[in-house]
Structure 1
Amino acid sequence: MTEIEAVSPRTLESTRTLLEAFFAAAVNDAWPDMAEGYEWADRTRPFVDIALQRSDIPLVLPSLKKSMDTFVIYVAVDKREDVVPTAELIKAFAGPSHLVDASMERPVRLDSRVEVERILLESMSPAAVFRLSAGPVPKRRARLTDAMCLMQQVLARRPTRSWHVVKPTGRLLAEFDAALAAGGEASSAVILDQLRDTGGLDASNLAYLTIKRLNRLGKDAEIQALPRLADIIRQEPPTPVREALLESLYFSAVEDHLAAGGLEAAIQSLCDTGTHLDELLNGPLRLRSTGALTIAVLAGVIRDDHNLLKHANDALQNLGRFEELPEAVRTELLSRLGDGSPDTVITPEPQPVISSWSELVAAMSDNSPAVRNVLREAGWQDWPSPAQNDDEIAGLLDGLGDEAAEQAWSAVGAFLEATGYDDPAGRSAEAFILNALTHSRFKPGDLLVIQALLGVALRGAPNADDYEHLLREIGSESDRWVAPERASAVLDIVDSLVLSACPDEVARQQLGYRLLTPLSRHSERLDLADIAFARVLDGELGLGLPWQTELGDEHAESEAWHSANVNVLLYSLDEKVLGRVTEQLRSIAPNARVTSSSDHVGGPRLRQWVQNADLVVLITRCAKHAATGFISGHTSSEKIAYVDGSGSASLLRTTLAELRRRYG
């Protein structure tokens, strides 16, 4: 997103000046000099007319350069508070039906070297600009133009008013944490923008959320490059943020040295870059990641701090991660702890008010401040898994009133983290799903969470009655959220049904039919990658639904995928999803060499795969238990694509879109 803010509202005079420059014959072939006799004037005139009539809606302008065979539609927004609603409008009117890939549903930074983009920057100082493309196929360009023209006509007919709806900050925070835990890379970015726009959080808290998100994506160098980082650290950030900052130091400054066995080089690098170590390691330490604990060990070596070394060693032993330490660090730690130095007396930490998932849910009925503190500090990481008290937690969740149920949703992200892929708390997950359905949580990010919760519920092996009841409840509300622009999330939910054990085949088939039928009716609006996977699901469920496409479009897409002669690495902790998408890619893109990994930690094998890959596609769900930081540290950011979601359809769609964009 561009950092430039609007300095003044658009006026009729300024808009005319912009249009004259934007459509100058030497700049733009969409309507050269806005000449009346131009053959295709009627295709561009509606955008110009609406721009001159309504300054309170986004500015939409097409740009064509015949000599380069490029066609782009720009959507410019004046005010930050209108950025997110505009993104949702673009997704609704164009979305996967007409755009090359989903990344175009987010703002871009304009390039002043491109003449039309320089004109936009200089003429209106936009708060954000979207750059939309349908690719080289003329029919798809025409359909994108029609879709965006329809969007403008609909907006122009609405009365002049403020159309920005502000959500409560608490609900947005819950949605952010939940989307992040469910692997919602794009969804969490949209919610973070909304939080910035509402003004409900100060700069420090916004920085904490930014750090949590970057840590999730493994963007450790970006964390270390954040402005005002020293100020953020001095304000005693919560434990998860401190741990993310320490982990970013590990991957950005010392991991490569330690992998080569260079302990002294790692220590020197940490001395050079870890200028805020004292502040980050001050006070009670509840670190759980190997990277952060490695930094604590190295800091203990640098400071000759026996107490810090013992604390880090105890944490590693309790977590069962001591062997994950680089060999040189393990050797040094054991050597230092064996020197007989006396322990520093540690003041015991006060016992927490809440110490289990059952107590957390029970406290929500009383609106206890302790609930917010547990979630802020990630105190739940020290508790037994929710699976150990699944029935009790589910009963408590089912018994919450409306206000407490709203607060319970703030814990759904932590719940997904705590259950992961290997420790399902099926009945609790079902209770969270019913919470979402009851309170109409059907935004794109919410659907990613529902899919992740459904995976947890089904891995819990429900009996036939519970299985049928859960699927019936999901289907009862499906007409409110199943739509072509949400196809990937819908297909991920159906795929969860297919990949899981099925105690009631009729219930599974009925829900599959209910979810896939609306997509089949509007299949001409679906991305071809989604259609390809929908056909697979349809065949597995035996539904026999029609999936129509434009033959010319499908042929062009197939050619682009077939010609992709590249190395692709897929990463997720869900091995079933990896196997399924790998199989599909070998059929759709046979010249692509596909490798998949679900390694929890980095190592020589994963390093080699990452470095050999031309494209790395990451699912970030449960990334705290994954090797995303390791992966990001061993390849360029340009080679990485992040999936918005955690299912097979989302992974397949992202991979095919990237192949089309990069190599088609």
Structure 2
Amino acid sequence: MIGTDLDAARTVLEDLTALRPCAGVPSDIAALCADVSQSVISETFPGALVPVIDSAGAMQIDVAAATMSDWRRLKPVLLAFAGPTLTGFDGLPESFAASDPVGARLQLAAPAVTAIMRLPGDDRARVAALRAVLRARDTLARAPELQRSAPVPTSWLLARFQDFLNVGRRDGATGILERLRSELRLDALNVKFLEVQLLAAFEDWRSIVALPEFPSLCVARRTPAITAILLEALYRTYIAGPFDNGDATGTRSSYTRDVQGFVQSMGITAPPPALGAGGWRLLGLEILDDPGRQDWRAALSDQAPDLGWIADLLPVQASIEPQQVEVAAPIDVARGALIQAGAVDSVDLLADAMAAMARLSPEELELLRETMPFRPIVQVTDNLASIAPPTSWVAWLDRTAEPAFADALEIARRGKDEWAIGASTADPVAVHTLVAALEKVQGDPLAAERTTQALPYLVAWLQRDKDFPCAALSPIYGELLTLFALGSARGATVYESSQVLVGALLAGGLDQKAYRDLIADTDEIAGDGFGVDMIYWVLELVENFMNSATPDADAREAFLHRILARIAPIIGRLTRLQRIAVTLLSRELGWELPVSPTSDVAPTDDGLASRLAGMRITIYSLTESSSRQAKAALEEISSSVTVDINADHSGSARLRALAENSDLFVMTWLSAKHAATDFIRTHRGNRPLIYSQGKGFSSMLRAIEDFLRS
């Protein structure tokens, strides 16, 4: 099958059938051609085979493989059944001719590899060749399941989901979410929590509150991170307007009318970690309405900058004399900790409960085991063999080499939101300790594999730092990038989050040695060669290096030339938009793409020009030079496309007009201001709004092309 979407493959087959590629041949050959063409929609066939008669009457079979993996499966079988003895196929990739309508249609599916099998001119020989190709197809269909891709574990899909969120790939994260939902990998509540996390990553607060399940989410057992998101969504939707205007009466009225019921239904006993300014303000408003909430007062006393003018209205916390403090009995402390762990899905609270239980006598522990509502959570702790889960990344890394640490990725997924990040930025000793722990795991295969799979969570944890990227954390960024490189060498997925670390290291400034190490790691991640699906990832890397200061210009130039040289062999298979992006970057480096026999054939029409024709596209980015480059690339493809660029820091009449009237609106995720993004969403409505993950023009082109292809 060409691609992974059966519906899209069926559309391709219908279009090919309408072209009548084998018109005029004898009926027996026509029947064989139709049978061979069914490979386009065969879910067991790694690619597509389509016979076609050219204008001179010669017959050939156009071959297309969606991925390099498919090509590696397909090529040896075709050579074995219908190689040079029956056809002109020698196993080498070959571009389709510009005059080949079948090839033009297959190109629209963006195959990774194309080839041509030329058939003899004699009808009898053609029949033999076509039958041989059918036997090859049937052999692949009967191949054992072992030759197919292994099922992807749910934990890997969740890591990939986080990876897309780290770089603002909303389309990619949405695709993973739909897969988790359709394959029933998670229960409905956890899928909904992931949807909330996705919407929060793009600050789409109103959509969170508008979810039909929102009231249920407020009363469900949640992680602290989800609680913080729900509070922030309520604040941004109902309270931010009057609060920003300093309207105390309007703020308190909106809170009582629209928000208070939700906050009270959440049953919050302690402010969750990573609570945003909006969440703190809601807790402050609740104290104003109920001064008896002394359980929050101590936490709020340190949050005056986040509370704003609410801090001046809060009641003064009564001082507690030392003699008034009563020390609770160990069993009461354990009961309280168990209630907290049962109400909130938190790694840290579970660790606290297990620590409290460890201080009990055997009799007290047995009493808790037999008493409701403590029995279920005590059973959970028993299942963990009384080993408390880690409460920091250093502790997590120390456990990764243990075979029994089977829930390592799940704990990492939760730890990214719960474990403190602020202390690490100010303490060189903490930075050194974490770097040493990361270095240590590289010596153990199991620890290294688990850490590689958890890299998106580590990057997400670092991005929680208000000062990200922080120069003091550069050693951590560098060590994580080395792990990305080692994972790539072992064949692990090249995570998009590696771009985040490259950008952070370049922004922080590096000496010559560190810069050369960065180039070496990035070179390793990119690999010796890459397919069409990695082009935009590579182009974003190139842009990042070109737009950042360098302590070693010669090393950077050599590296960028190596990267571009690896693109040359596949330039003929790139889309027009990708080719334009490569050409623009090459010109900036003073480098001309070499012309080779396999790359000098311009790709056939990929349909982007016709889809862009007549469209009005707006690109919103504070990096105007990148916006102008993206505008030039789009206009080069279609003279009738209208591209507007905007960099207003807040709402304006022009930005509103663009949001309301554009056919497609592109927002640069990393360089957009909150006021402007909220303004755009408000006036955009349900019309298409997409996000580019980086500040460079190649990210913008990637987002537009992905949207047009979908």
Q: TM-score, normalised by structure 1?
A: 0.66
Once residues 560 and 197 of structure 1 are traced to their aligned partners in structure 2, the CA distance between those partners, rounded to angstroms, is 30
> Cα–Cα, structure 1 residues 341 and 650, in superposed 2: closer, same or farther, change >3 Å?
same
**Equivalent of 1:191 in 176, 179, 186:** 176
How does 1:447-458 map onto structure 2 within 5 Å? 447-458=495-506
Q: Does 1:233 align with 2:284?
A: no
3-state SS of the aligned residue for 2:592? coil
Q: Which amino acid aligns with 1:468?
A: R
Q: Which amino acid aligns with 1:408?
A: T
Q: Which residue of 1 aligns with 2:436?
A: 395
**Equivalent of 1:284 in 266, 270, 289:** 270
Could you tell me whether the CA contact under 8 Å between 1:558 and 1:588 is conserved in 2? no
Could you tell me whether the CA contact under 8 Å between 2:619 and 2:627 is conserved in 1? no
Q: Which residue of 2 aligns with 1:497?
A: 545
Once residues 625 and 584 of structure 1 are traced to their aligned partners in structure 2, the CA distance between those partners, rounded to angstroms, is 24
Q: Which amino acid aligns with 1:405?
A: A
How does 1:97-246 map onto structure 2 within 5 Å? 141=105, 143-144=107-108, 158-160=140-142, 162=145, 163=148, 165-196=150-181, 201-246=186-231
Once residues 160 and 256 of structure 2 are traced to their aligned partners in structure 1, the CA distance between those partners, rounded to angstroms, is 38
Q: Which amino acid aligns with 1:143?
A: Q
Q: Which residue of 2 aligns with 1:250?
A: 235
Q: Which amino acid aligns with 1:394?
A: V
> Cα–Cα, structure 1 residues 561 and 55, in superposed 2: closer, same or farther, change >3 Å?
closer
Q: Which amino acid aligns with 2:276?
A: S
Q: How many matched pairs?
A: 553
Shift of residue 528, structure 1, vs aligned partner: 3.0
Once residues 372 and 172 of structure 1 are traced to their aligned partners in structure 2, the CA distance between those partners, rounded to angstroms, is 12
Once residues 358 and 288 of structure 1 are traced to their aligned partners in structure 2, the CA distance between those partners, rounded to angstroms, is 23
Q: Which amino acid aligns with 1:279?
A: S
Give the number of the structure whose alpha-carbon radius of gyration is greater: 2
Q: Which amino acid aligns with 1:581?
A: S
Could you tell me whether the CA contact under 8 Å between 1:183 and 1:620 is conserved in 2? yes
Q: Does 1:376 align with 2:414?
A: yes
> Cα–Cα, structure 1 residues 149 and 227, in superposed 2: closer, same or farther, change >3 Å?
farther
Q: Deviations over 1:100-136 (max 9, x none)?
A: xxxxxxxxxxxxxxxxxxxxxxxxxxxxxxxxxxxxx
Shift of residue 510, structure 1, vs aligned partner: 2.8
3-state SS of the aligned residue for 2:496? helix
**Equivalent of 2:626 in 549, 571, 581:** 581
Q: Which residue of 2 aligns with 1:417?
A: 463
Shift of residue 205, structure 1, vs aligned partner: 2.6
> Cα–Cα, structure 1 residues 593 and 343, in superposed 2: closer, same or farther, change >3 Å?
farther
Once residues 469 and 403 of structure 1 are traced to their aligned partners in structure 2, the CA distance between those partners, rounded to angstroms, is 25
How does 1:289-438 map onto structure 2 within 5 Å? 289-303=276-290, 307=294, 310=297, 313-314=300-301, 316-317=303-304, 320-323=305-308, 330=309, 333-334=310-311, 336-337=313-314, 342=318, 361-362=397-398, 364=400, 375-376=413-414, 378-381=417-420, 383-386=422-425, 388-389=427-428, 390-400=431-441, 401-409=444-452, 410=454, 411-418=457-464, 421-424=468-471, 425-438=473-486
Q: Which amino acid aligns with 2:568?
A: S
Q: Which residue of 2 aligns with 1:635?
A: 684
Shift of residue 187, structure 1, vs aligned partner: 2.7
Q: Does 1:50 align with 2:97?
A: no
> Cα–Cα, structure 1 residues 606 and 291, in superposed 2: closer, same or farther, change >3 Å?
farther
**Percentage identity across paired residues of the two chains:** 17
Once residues 16 and 285 of structure 2 are traced to their aligned partners in structure 1, the CA distance between those partners, rounded to angstroms, is 60
Shift of residue 653, structure 1, vs aligned partner: 0.7
> Cα–Cα, structure 1 residues 624 and 229, in superposed 2: closer, same or farther, change >3 Å?
farther
Once residues 555 and 165 of structure 1 are traced to their aligned partners in structure 2, the CA distance between those partners, rounded to angstroms, is 32
> Cα–Cα, structure 1 residues 610 and 343, in superposed 2: closer, same or farther, change >3 Å?
farther
Q: Which residue of 2 aligns with 1:79?
A: none
Q: Which residue of 2 aligns with 1:462?
A: 510
Question: What is the CA RMSD across the aligned residues, in angstroms?
Answer: 5.4
> Cα–Cα, structure 1 residues 494 and 198, in superposed 2: closer, same or farther, change >3 Å?
same
Shift of residue 608, structure 1, vs aligned partner: 7.5
Unaligned runs of 5+ residues in structure 2 are: 1-5, 51-64, 72-100, 116-132, 338-348, 353-388, 636-641
Shift of residue 423, structure 1, vs aligned partner: 1.2
Shift of residue 285, structure 1, vs aligned partner: 0.6
> Cα–Cα, structure 1 residues 483 and 336, in superposed 2: closer, same or farther, change >3 Å?
same
Could you tell me whether the CA contact under 8 Å between 1:54 and 1:156 is conserved in 2? no
Shift of residue 258, structure 1, vs aligned partner: 4.6
Q: Which amino acid aligns with 1:383?
A: G
Q: Deviations over 1:443-489 (max 9, x none)?
A: 99734211111112223333222322332343245346622221110
Once residues 563 and 631 of structure 2 are traced to their aligned partners in structure 1, the CA distance between those partners, rounded to angstroms, is 27
Once residues 607 and 282 of structure 1 are traced to their aligned partners in structure 2, the CA distance between those partners, rounded to angstroms, is 42
Q: Which residue of 2 aligns with 1:122?
A: none
Once residues 707 and 19 of structure 2 are traced to their aligned partners in structure 1, the CA distance between those partners, rounded to angstroms, is 37
3-state SS of the aligned residue for 1:172? helix
3-state SS of the aligned residue for 2:301? helix
Q: Deviations over 1:380-404 (max 9, x none)?
A: 3453244753444333212212322
Once residues 46 and 267 of structure 1 are traced to their aligned partners in structure 2, the CA distance between those partners, rounded to angstroms, is 71
Q: Deviations over 1:210-268 (max 9, x none)?
A: 21112112333332344544444333211111111122223333444555666555555
3-state SS of the aligned residue for 1:501? coil
3-state SS of the aligned residue for 1:435? helix
Once residues 290 and 440 of structure 1 are traced to their aligned partners in structure 2, the CA distance between those partners, rounded to angstroms, is 38
Shift of residue 552, structure 1, vs aligned partner: 10
Deviates more, 1:472-481 or 1:145-154: 145-154
Could you tell me whether the CA contact under 8 Å between 1:557 and 1:660 is conserved in 2? yes
> Cα–Cα, structure 1 residues 627 and 29, in superposed 2: closer, same or farther, change >3 Å?
closer
Once residues 146 and 468 of structure 1 are traced to their aligned partners in structure 2, the CA distance between those partners, rounded to angstroms, is 35
How does 1:57-68 map onto structure 2 within 5 Å? none
Shift of residue 492, structure 1, vs aligned partner: 0.8
Q: Which residue of 2 aligns with 1:618?
A: 667
Once residues 303 and 228 of structure 1 are traced to their aligned partners in structure 2, the CA distance between those partners, rounded to angstroms, is 27
Q: Deviations over 1:56-106 (max 9, x none)?
A: 6799999xxxxxxxxxxxxxxxxxxxxxxxxx9589999xxxxxxxxxxxx
Deviates more, 1:301-310 or 1:221-230: 301-310
Once residues 505 and 440 of structure 2 are traced to their aligned partners in structure 1, the CA distance between those partners, rounded to angstroms, is 19
Q: Which residue of 1 aligns with 2:647?
A: 596
Deviates more, 1:483-492 or 1:545-554: 545-554
**Equivalent of 2:574 in 484, 502, 526:** 526
Q: TM-score, normalised by structure 2?
A: 0.62
Q: Deviations over 1:541-600 (max 9, x none)?
A: 333324878889899978997976665322xxxx6xx24413414544686442236x7x
Once residues 226 and 474 of structure 1 are traced to their aligned partners in structure 2, the CA distance between those partners, rounded to angstroms, is 41
Q: Which amino acid aligns with 1:596?
A: A
